[in-house]
Structure 1
Amino acid sequence: METLEVHSKDFLVKWVHAPDNCIIDWYVKPVKKSINFAIYRKSADSSESKENSESPVPRSGSGVSREEHTNGSGTADSVSSVNVAASKSHKTRSRSMSRSSSFSDNLEQSDLQLVKHYNKLIAGELVHGKYEVERGGTFAFIFDNSFSKTTMKKVLFSSKILFANPGSNEVYRRKMFASKKTSIHDLRSNGGGRTRQTPKYNGAEDDDDDTLHSVLLKKRRKVLQGYVKRYFLLNFKYGTLSYFRVNDNKLRGSMPVRHSIISANPKSREIIIDSGMEVWSLKALNNTDFQNWIDAFNKVKRSQCDFDQEHYDDDADISDAVHDLEGVAKELNTLKFKNDSPSDELLQKVSGISDDVEHALDKLRSAISSHNVNEAKSTYSNNDFHDAKEFNDTLSAGVVLLDRSGGKGSSLEDSDISDYGDDNEIISTNSSESDLGDFQDSRKKPVKAQSTTKSSHAQLYPLPHDPVKRDYDIPVSVSQPPSLLGFLRKNVGKDLSNIAMPVEMNEPLSFLQKYSEMFEYCDLIDNALQISSSDDCGEKILRIAAFAVSSLSCLRMKERNARKPFNPLLGETYELVREDFGIRYVSEKVCHKPAVFAIFAESKEWTFSFSPSPSQKFWGKNAEISIKGVCTLTIRDTGEVFTWTQPTTLLKNIIAGEKYSEPSAPITVKSSFGGGAVVEFDKSGMFSGRSEGLTIKAYDSNKNILPYSITGKWTESLTLKTDSTEKLIWTVGELLPNSSQKYGFTKFAGTLNKITPLEKDQIPPTDSRLRPDIRYYEQGNVESAEKTKLELEEAQRQRRKELEMKKEQYKPLFFTHVGGDTPDSGEWVYVNGDKSYWNRRKNNDWNDLPKLW
């Protein structure tokens, strides 16, 4: 995928040329910041409209407006003179089109027709779409960053054309942009960098992928900022002119030369290119460069490279050759992959021949799909004045060369040229701070403008906070979990609830820490809230449902199914502050029997509460794990509330065999505004092993299925499917190196026991990070961990007996019970006010906490 850079308050157009009866297969991935995206089609009669219009009006964009394109005396140059000659009214209209013109204004005045608007694409998500083209044409993939005032956006993009293979149902791909042999890096190595001035012609005359490339001067977008050196690449096959910063491979802009109006002035070596959507003003560094570029543009303008479907029928010899080569390719693939024991030498030779055949096939297919490019010569008209109508009649024939009568434009001054800088604005050291956000962790979200609603009053001490360096690695486990069957045999007839499990059956985290793993994927919530409030396709609630299911992914590794977290002591707490995610989380064990944990997490945009009470039942060789409690997600701005319960899961093969977990019940997410989503897990067969697939469907308030859905695996990734695209909205977190010997932890889980500068001397003495038996166990001191664990559990029993003798019950400090007759019913609500957890933390007020160890 190539990297595109889109200026703030601007847009970038990526042009794709598609023949008849094909499919445009495209991928887009915004990097770290969201961007708006849409696909437009250039009108079929656009060339006619250009030729018949009285005068083409340059558009604002990454170039100059008509008002900017004047000489020193204030007289319009030859391009403006030509355009205005037939109709004075255009002068007023063009002057009104300054750089402040909105993106929508540019679209309205262009000859582009909307194909599909995808609205905002979420940062970090890979979006895949396919568009079926019946009638060929030129398509504009537009990346709109006009809503951002200061931040440049980076986007990864690729597109391919899919064709039906002659005589088969298969398709093959034709890659858009340059071929491998004419990549940007290759062109640079051939002399296309900063020091090269003469345009480099890459490829043979009859090569469909030949290119022309060199440095040209490009006028900045703002008035009086002069010109800047940029690296330009013209692809003859697709007629597309692209530009980059010198010695950089990030695309800054693209122009469809074949469908653009091109004017040029030999005296000033100036070239004006107007696509109807934007205007570029360029200057060649010398006369030789100027003539080479004019010749190249004329070649593109006069060539016929569009795909001709009938060519398949007319050229029987090529079609037969393709058919024969495909047969050879299939036989070679059979030798490569179905031979029982091929030697390395034979396999290498067969692979080489197979690659050669595939390359030949590509060349033949390319020959079928396009006509040869004929060389064209440029025509100069140095001193002729063209009337507007005569001027437009010549546009389709090639570049129109005009003369400038006087003015400063005939020479280049040093002050007009810059080797560095952005086309948008002069670089200032004061802007570096705002640009740092582009290079932070991909899950860090930009701070949104505070609204006038209650979200503007949300204080999240100790956030905001400077970035914290976190160590995620942990020591290798020195023990293996004991056989549960052996343990049960040793305790036949005994009450298992009163028997302490061996410490080797644990992982070095408490349940409070494990529940915090839910928020490894809290960006799913943030991304859901970026969906338009008028969403009627179900995308928002589908993303919330994806968050609901993402917490199951911590069970994907078999090592995590063979152990369990440490059971927290009554009154034990755990906090998690992630400045990179913009969240804070606090939890407390509020009841011992039954075990109940209270959780409260929040960000600037939402709050989350959950009071899980897990229980386990044995069924022969399997165990059923169910969790009481309702997950409640509240959106601050709108007051919308989403609720769901965690699914029942089955832990299989607990006696013998490889242990694994799988969900055995669906998840239903409901919205207080109406509607919901249902997560359905695939059912596993008797011998099929773990079931990992799932489908999420959204419903409106009348229980009608909405058009969007999600498919994927809770162990790998989830994809949002719309009517025309697929968005990869979630992937599992990265595992620790050598994870199988480190309890199957992800990198996120590996950080949960660390004490960073955010926690040092700040967290209460009841925090799980300070629990000594967990610390011993993580460090590999199993004997001390076992001994300390027994001591802590015995001390807890003594505290409970003392309360019973006083006829008192333990009262949690940071949560209060609301509703329900038993501790595992109703809801445990986070305590606000002066005695809240975060206010106590700010004041280091931990004096009345129980001494747990």
Structure 2
Amino acid sequence: MKGRGCWEAASVRSFCSSGCLNKLKKDDSGDDDEETASPTDKSELHQTLKELSGRLAELSTCSDLISKHGAALQRSLNELDSLKIPWESGEKLKAVNERATLFRITSNAMINACRDFLELAETHSRKWQRALQYEQEQRVHLEETIEQLAKQHNSLERAFRGAPGRLASPSQTFSQGSLLTAKGEDSEEDEDTEYFDAMEDSTSFITVITEASEDRKAEGGTVTSSVEWTSADNEREGASIVPKDSSKVKRRTSIPNKPSYSLNLWSIMKNCIGRELSRIPMPVNFNEPLSMLQRLTEDLEYHHLLDKAVHCTSSVEQMCLVAAFSVSSYSTTVHRIAKPFNPMLGETFELDRFQDMGLRSLCEQVSHHPPSAAHYVTSKHGWSLWQEITVASKFRGKYLSIMPLGAIHLEFQGSGNHYVWRKSTSTVHNIIVGKLWIDQSGDIEIVNHKTKDRCQLKFVPYSYFSKEVARKVTGVVSDSQGKAQYVLSGSWDEQMECAKIVHSSPSSDGKQKTVYQTLPTRLLWKKFPLPENAENMYYFSELALTLNEHEDGVAPTDSRLRPDQRLMERGRWDEANTEKQRLEEKQRVSRRRRMETCAASCSGEDERETDRYVPLWFEKRLDPLTGEMACVYKGGYWEAKEKQDWHMCPDIF
């Protein structure tokens, strides 16, 4: 009997020392905000109620023990009271008996209060659960409704634009869009002005279609020249057709399907607001199996526009095709919300496609912070393109802004025409909630530095409340005298058209608009359809599917040989994340070694430049047209590939 009593007493002490009573008091008071915040998961609610029920059962057990031992204590006190003891001792026993009775009553009251607390928690948890489920359903329904309305609005706009007979009247308007803002305007949007509606009062233009047979006299009194292209190809749809040469190399047409991995982007990025994106450690779950160098090379998908522009004898007509090429590079981004891999310092990517595409392309990552890549392309058709792009990106809470910095150069060897332009800003919306979508916004000015022709393009930001067509692009091509020659219109995800201007005049409605009378439009560029099953292959185009295809003879620093990217492409994401961490640590070790090596021989101002990487295939030069320092191809790569001599390449993988 004595041993059993000791075991029961030990059980009570164990329960009290476990802090269960304190936990119940803490849960009831609401001091722990994180634990008592409104639960968003049903399993968490059930688990909490289960724990409370268990604690109540333990309290009930303790109550039974207290009642049992209290009754035994009172019997013992009654037995002592029946004994003949001094009067003073009897009074003390009576006081002890009263205290034991009060202790048992208090214990019962505590158990009843805990039972009431549990019943109240169960009642309110069911209410919270129903309210939370209702709000979630309403939010999903609202998102689906808005998206459906936007799609219907877009379909109606397109149906209206393509309605038969709509362009038959010379006074019918077919395009209206904003021209460029002030030349020095900052391209980095402010958070408060990112979502804005159509600005009808801004400087804009209206184009009016004129029948081809009605050639008008120009403002100077001379008759306008022929509207036909001076290039050899005069077919209306010729600019959208790609000559598909028979290639001896069979390229792949598919990659493994994207695995179904669920990961909350907001849970990772909520503490990174305002930080540079390249400095945020991101798992491969948010990537696509291509590097930034490969994405940069993907801009060449519509290279046939430049091949066609080589044969243009008119510089303004050539400018139209160059403008269409600059817009076409964004068409691959419409569904591509996943980020490419940040290249390792010294990583390269080559595209040797002389047989089928008639060009060779080389990219090298020349800087890690900030991330910067140099690119050089040469074509057998007589043009070359080079650029150094530095990606500046900021996470701003509700959206992500990506600002490519650096100039793009395009030169035609036959005519000597040299074009320079810069990329627009890309914005990824709905980072916090909703379906991710990407938009392009800002202004692009293309300048021919030989003839002084200019093209001003406007990427109109999309808004649910705007009357504009989604992803709209407008522009005007002007000659060296500043006279508008062509109007451009279209969308960066589908197609671009141009129309020859025959007359221009101020708008009669009192607004700052210019009315352009034009001949019928010509198709400059049309997007290729996506491959079958593209939605399960990261929405890659036919060219993108081949970029990471294994090839023999490439440099050991080529993106195709990057192990974490290859593992991700094969669907082994857990292994890819482990490999990514290894490569990043290896890169950090290499950087520390460079700093230690240079610190021994450098001092003062030179010591601050110890993290500068010396590119292998490019070198810094002053750009005479922009006045900026940029990396330019210095040669040697294709000769090294022919000899298979890669001894100079760093070990980065």
Q: 1:840/1:776 Cα in 2 relative to 1: closer, same or farther (>3 Å)?
A: same
2:269 aligned residue (488, 499, 505): 488
**Contact in 2 for aligned 1:661/1:690 (Cα 8 Å):** no
1:831 corresponding residue in structure 2: 634
2:251 corresponding residue in structure 1: 470
Aligned ranges 1:61-100 → 2 under 5 Å: none
2:536 aligned residue (741, 744, 747): 741
Aligned ranges 1:150-165 → 2 under 5 Å: none
Residue 574 (structure 1) aligned with residue 349 (structure 2): yes
Distance 1:483 1:714 in 2: 30
1:816 corresponding residue in structure 2: 619
Distance 1:124 1:118 in 2: 7
**Contact in 2 for aligned 1:599/1:610 (Cα 8 Å):** yes
Residue 846 (structure 1) aligned with residue 649 (structure 2): no
Aligned length: 399
**Contact in 2 for aligned 1:542/1:697 (Cα 8 Å):** no
1:772 corresponding residue in structure 2: 563
Distance 2:569 2:230 in 1: 44
Distance 2:438 2:446 in 1: 22
2:455 aligned residue (671, 677, 700): 677
Residue 531 (structure 1) aligned with residue 312 (structure 2): yes
Q: 1:780/1:818 Cα in 2 relative to 1: closer, same or farther (>3 Å)?
A: same
Q: 1:668/1:847 Cα in 2 relative to 1: closer, same or farther (>3 Å)?
A: same
Cα distance per residue 1:221-247 (max 9 Å; x no partner) = xxxxxxxxxxxxxxxxxxxxxxxxxxx
1:592 corresponding residue in structure 2: 368
1:544 aligned residue (299, 322, 345): 322
Q: Please state whether the residue corresponding to 1:644 is helix, strand or coil.
A: strand
Cα distance, 1:702 vs structure 2: 2.4
Aligned ranges 1:183-194 → 2 under 5 Å: none
**Contact in 2 for aligned 1:611/1:629 (Cα 8 Å):** yes
Could you tell me which runs of 5 or more consecutive residues in structure 2 were left unpaired when the two chains were aligned: 1-167, 170-211, 214-224, 501-517, 599-609
**Contact in 2 for aligned 1:610/1:630 (Cα 8 Å):** yes
Distance 2:596 2:418 in 1: 43
Distance 2:264 2:645 in 1: 44
Distance 1:661 1:776 in 2: 27
Amino acid at match of 2:302: Y
When the two structures are superposed, what TM-score results if normalisation uses the length of structure 2? 0.57
Measured on the aligned residues, the alpha-carbon RMSD in Å equals 3.2
1:699 aligned residue (475, 478, 486): 478
1:804 aligned residue (580, 585, 595): 595
1:714 aligned residue (486, 492, 511): 492
Distance 1:481 1:701 in 2: 55
Aligned ranges 1:379-778 → 2 under 5 Å: 443-444=242-243, 467-480=248-261, 482-489=263-270, 499-533=280-314, 538-557=316-335, 560-561=336-337, 563-578=338-353, 579-604=355-380, 605-672=382-449, 673-688=451-466, 691-706=470-485, 708-722=486-500, 723-755=518-550, 759-760=551-552, 762-778=553-569
Q: Please state whether the residue corresponding to 1:612 is helix, strand or coil.
A: strand
Cα distance, 1:493 vs structure 2: 12
Cα distance, 1:786 vs structure 2: 0.7
Q: Please state whether the residue corresponding to 2:521 is helix, strand or coil.
A: strand
Q: 1:624/1:769 Cα in 2 relative to 1: closer, same or farther (>3 Å)?
A: same
Could you tell me which runs of 5 or more consecutive residues in structure 1 were left unpaired when the two chains were aligned: 1-21, 24-38, 41-114, 128-154, 157-440, 447-464
Cα distance per residue 1:178-216 (max 9 Å; x no partner) = xxxxxxxxxxxxxxxxxxxxxxxxxxxxxxxxxxxxxxx
1:10 corresponding residue in structure 2: none
2:160 corresponding residue in structure 1: none
Q: Please state whether the residue corresponding to 2:254 is helix, strand or coil.
A: coil
Amino acid at match of 1:701: S
Q: Please state whether the residue corresponding to 1:665 is helix, strand or coil.
A: strand
Distance 1:117 1:491 in 2: 54
Amino acid at match of 1:520: E
2:95 corresponding residue in structure 1: none
Cα distance, 1:658 vs structure 2: 1.8
Amino acid at match of 1:728: L
Distance 1:445 1:499 in 2: 42
Distance 1:498 1:628 in 2: 17
Distance 2:396 2:273 in 1: 17
When the two structures are superposed, what TM-score results if normalisation uses the length of structure 1? 0.44
**Contact in 1 for aligned 2:440/2:461 (Cα 8 Å):** no
2:53 corresponding residue in structure 1: none
Q: 1:671/1:492 Cα in 2 relative to 1: closer, same or farther (>3 Å)?
A: closer
Q: Please state whether the residue corresponding to 1:598 is helix, strand or coil.
A: strand
Q: Once the two structures are aligned, what percentage of the paired residues are identical?
A: 33
Which structure has the greater CA radius of gyration? 2
Higher helix share: 2
Distance 1:697 1:609 in 2: 25
Q: 1:494/1:754 Cα in 2 relative to 1: closer, same or farther (>3 Å)?
A: closer
**Contact in 2 for aligned 1:574/1:768 (Cα 8 Å):** yes
1:318 corresponding residue in structure 2: none
Cα distance, 1:782 vs structure 2: 0.7
Distance 1:117 1:669 in 2: 22
**Contact in 1 for aligned 2:372/2:390 (Cα 8 Å):** yes
**Contact in 2 for aligned 1:571/1:590 (Cα 8 Å):** yes
1:461 corresponding residue in structure 2: none
1:87 corresponding residue in structure 2: none
